[in-house]
Each structure stands twice: as C-alpha cells, then as structure tokens.
Amino acid sequence: MKIAIGSDHAGFAYKETLKESLSKMGHDVKDFGTHSSASSDYADFAHPVSESVESKQYSFGILVCGSANGVAITANKHAGIRAAICWNEELAQLARAHNDANIVCLPARFITNKDALVIVEKFLATSFEGGRHATRVSKINC
C-alpha cells in the first residue's frame, strides 16, 4: 500500500518509528517531513500529505503532531480529504468504517509510540462499510 506520512517536530520521533515499521511490513511510505525535531509548522507537512492523498498518488495519509488538532484542521481544508484524529483502535476503526477517513491524525503527546502503530494498523486494515455511511460521507464536501 502507498502511504504518505508527515509530522511536525512534536510528532517527529513517532513518524520515524511508524515509517520504519510500515516499510518493514512492505508498505511504500513517502515521508513529507519534517526531517528533524527542530521546531516546525505542521501545515508545511499536512498540506503535501493531503495533496498526495487527494490526488490519489497515495492511498492513505498519516499525520502526527502534539495534539493532532493542527494537522487534522489543515488536512480537512482539502476537498476529498477526511482526516480523523484517533487516539485508540476503536476510533481508527470507526473513522475508516463509518467515515471513509483517508488520513489518520495522531496526537503524539497523548499516546505511546506503540499505541500509534496499533492505531495505524487498525486504520489501514479497516474497510469502509458504505451503505448508509456512504450517503452521509457524500454530504461532507461544500
């Protein structure tokens, strides 16, 4: 699976761990930065990840920042992006199954690195249920 990933400085260590783990699982992971723990602006990475998913160049995106709010707000400005903040497996599953989320946003300051991988694995493994949820999703874009 082709996955776009990005983070700000608060999510840098998580991004690096996720990138390594997902690559070992056979996923094609494109890192859109940041490339260090130096202070950075989340929008500089959320926009390119979102654009790559929006254009269908990548199947899914992963964004990490301290609270996940900044990256989620930024990503959701893009038409066709449904970015969901997930801090546990159940939210990741529901985001995919009910909302057809295509970007998972992780709050590095509130979950462990191990939790992040479990959440991402659940997100990637869950299919959209369609049906009544498809009707609702179709009403999201303005």
Quote the pLDDT of residue 142: 82
Q: What share of the chain is helix, strand, coil (3-state, %, to 5)?
A: 45, 15, 35
Is the pTM higher than 0.95? The answer reads yes
Selecting among 9, 35, 98, 133, the annotated active-site residue is: 98
How sure is the predictor about 12, in pLDDT bands with cuts at 50, 70 and 90? very high
Task: Clarify whether 78 is annotated catalytic.
Answer: no
Q: For the chain, which residues make up each domain, given as ranges? A: 2-137
Q: Which phi and psi angles does 2 have, rounded to 5°?
A: -95, 120
Least confident of 1-5, 54-58, 128-132: 128-132
Is the pLDDT at 141 greater than 90, yes or no? no
pLDDT tens, 108-139? Answer: 999 999 999 999 999 999 999 899 999 999 99
Q: Rounded distance, CA 119 to CA 93, Å?
A: 8
Q: Which CATH class is domain 2-137?
A: alpha beta
